[in-house]
Amino acid sequence: MAQFKAFSGPTEGEPITLQNGQLHVPHHPIIPFIEGDGTGPDIWRASQRVFDAAVQKAYGGQRKIAWFEVYAGEKAFNQFQEWLPEDTLKALSEYIVSIKGPLTTPVGGGIRSLNVALRQELDLYVCQRPVRYFKGVPSPVKRPDLVDMVIFRENSEDIYAGVEWQEGTPEVKKVIQFLRQEMGVKKIRFPETSGIGIKPVSKEGTERLVRSAIQYALQHKRKSVTLVHKGNIMKFTEGAFKTWGYELAEREFADQTFTWAMYDRIKEKDGQAAADKAQDEALKLGKIIVKDVIADAFLQQILLRPAEYDVIATLNLNGDYISDALAAQVGGIGIAPGANINYESGHAVFEATHGTAPKYANLDKVNPGSVILSGVMMFEYMGWQEVADSIIQALEKTIESKVVTYDFARLMEGATEVKTSGFADAVIANL
Ligand SMILES: NC(=O)C1=CN([C@@H]2O[C@H](COP(=O)(O)OP(=O)(O)OC[C@H]3O[C@@H](n4cnc5c(N)ncnc54)[C@H](OP(=O)(O)O)[C@@H]3O)[C@@H](O)[C@H]2O)C=CC1
Ligand SMILES: O=C(O)CCC(=O)C(=O)O
Ligand SMILES: [Mg+2]
């Protein structure tokens, strides 16, 4: 068992382990959780009750989660004068599967994102965010039911690496001088008053992300994987992401995929009819179509033609924007779950797509749906499918009966508005 310094270790349960690449989940697994800042505590309390009730219902006491609170953000700082204690990283690493509430990141200065730090420290290179419609949820679009996508957002590089220098500092002056004098850069419009940020995008980073997306598409019998990039402008980062993604698909999944890069090569050589025929044949054989789209066009097409998109593989910043935009299409960030995963080490930290929504902190008001659904993803990951299924059906039943939190109630006719805790009560009653 791991030894902890700042806080005590778990008092019950057994660790989840990885054996020969397979997750081994005991009947009483230790699962670390971070409550989160802002609305985090309200949402976590509600979600934890739903999880425990669903496990009890599915296994009648044979299985039970041994929750282990670990600390990050304001609660950690107040108790240990550290935003992200070493013990927390140790616990998330030791116990493999964990879940967290949102953590605050100040804008423009102060600490860097703890959420990003967790992803980088544990090398959780996939941010996986499924977006689907639940019947009865109010939506701003006519056919929200056509949205059924799973976002694979690269989670370890891009501008989130945090390599940037503030305007006016000696460091930024040095970087700008280097760029201008040694690299021949002439296009920094206002060199005296610029901050500089660096966007690293690697072949390895792209390949492991796209590989995970294609493997997911194959395992879940999805139709396509779309590489979303801004490669027309950022040629050697986002453009390379597209090229490396296609190359990976053709090299590692030659028999299971058909790429638009192949389509273009056939078209160039034998004409469009031949390329269309090759794609039709691939579809008949059940191959995954790997295609690409430029990010701005993608953002309008998901509104106009969402049914054309399925699994999405994209870079870190694009994935961040796309997650919230797609969440809005199916009713908002109140039911937008996610997971940060390293598919090689097995480490996974489940968390909602939304943030701390500070104006609603401690009001017992916001929708706990995103963390509840992140828990559903966690139970699926653990192989506790009965629990996942039972929570999903209870959540659907609750929303269909129009018992909802403020975010849905303000857009629904005849809704019964309940608090965060009240929504959890209703879901538990429907398990
Ligand atoms: N992974 C993480 O921990 C994340 C952390 N953050 C951090 O959170 C903080 C606040 O970020 P902000 O940009 O305001 O984004 P938030 O996602 O926290 O909130 C934006 C808006 O989304 C709606 N919303 C958020 N959560 C819920 C919920 N559970 N139920 C219903 N509606 C919800 C609210 O809309 P309305 O006003 O219409 O009611 C809210 O005002 C920042 O410090 C940011 O860095 C942000 C994203 C992810
Ligand atoms: O880390 C943060 O504060 C924001 C992260 C975020 O927006 C996201 O992961 O979607
Ligand atoms: Mg975000």
Q: What does the DSSP assignment read for 114-170?
A: HHHHHHHHTT--EEEEEEE--TT---SSS-GGG-EEEEEEE-S-GGGG--EE-TTSH
CB of 351 closer than 6 A to ligand 1? yes
Catalytic hit among 37, 158, 310, 320: 320
CATH code, residues 139-154+201-330: 3.40.718.10
Weakest-pLDDT range from 111-115, 320-324, 359-363, 423-427: 111-115
Give the model's pLDDT for residue 2: 76
Judged against a pLDDT cut of 80, whether residue 1 lies above it is answered with no
Question: Using one digit for the tens of pLDDT, what is the confidence trace for 251-268?
Answer: 999 999 999 999 999 999
User: What is the mean pLDDT of the segment spanning 289-311?
Assistant: 98
pLDDT digit string (tens) for 174-224?
999 999 999 999 999 999 999 999 999 999 999 999 999 999 999 999 999
Q: Which residue has the tokens 């081994």?
A: 24
Does residue 399 line the site of ligand 2, with CB under 6 A? Answer: no
Alpha-carbon span 175 to 37, nearest angstrom: 36
Active site residue 292: no
**CA nearest to 36, candidates 283, 368, 391:** 368
Establish whether residue 333 lines the binding site of ligand 2, counting it when its CB lies within 6 angstroms of any ligand atom.
no
Nearest atom, ligand 1, residue 357 CA: 18
CATH number of this structure's domain 1-132+336-430, picked from the four choices 3.40.50.620, 3.40.50.150, 3.40.718.10, 3.30.230.10: 3.40.718.10
CA of 334 to the centre of ligand 1 (A): 9
pLDDT in tens, 27-72: 999 999 999 999 999 999 999 999 999 999 999 999 999 999 999 9
- Tell me the pLDDT band of 108, cut-offs 50, 70 and 90: confident
Label residue 148 by pLDDT band (50, 70, 90): very high
Q: Decide if 1-132+336-430 and 139-154+201-330 have a common fold.
A: yes
Q: Please tell me the pTM assigned to this model.
A: 0.97
Per-domain residue ranges for the chain?
1-132+336-430, 139-154+201-330, 164-197
129 is in an annotated binding site: yes
**Mean pLDDT rounded to a whole number for the chain:** 97
The CB of 364 under 6 Å from ligand 1? The reply is no
Strands 97-100 and 348-351: parallel
Look-up of token digits 């804008």: 107
Closest C-alpha to 72, from 92, 51, 96, 43 = 92
Going along 70-125, which residue ranges are E strands?
Answer: 97-100
Decide if pLDDT at 119 tops 90.
yes
Nearest to 10 by CA among 29, 24, 36: 29
Closest to 213 (Cα-Cα) out of 269, 257, 180: 257
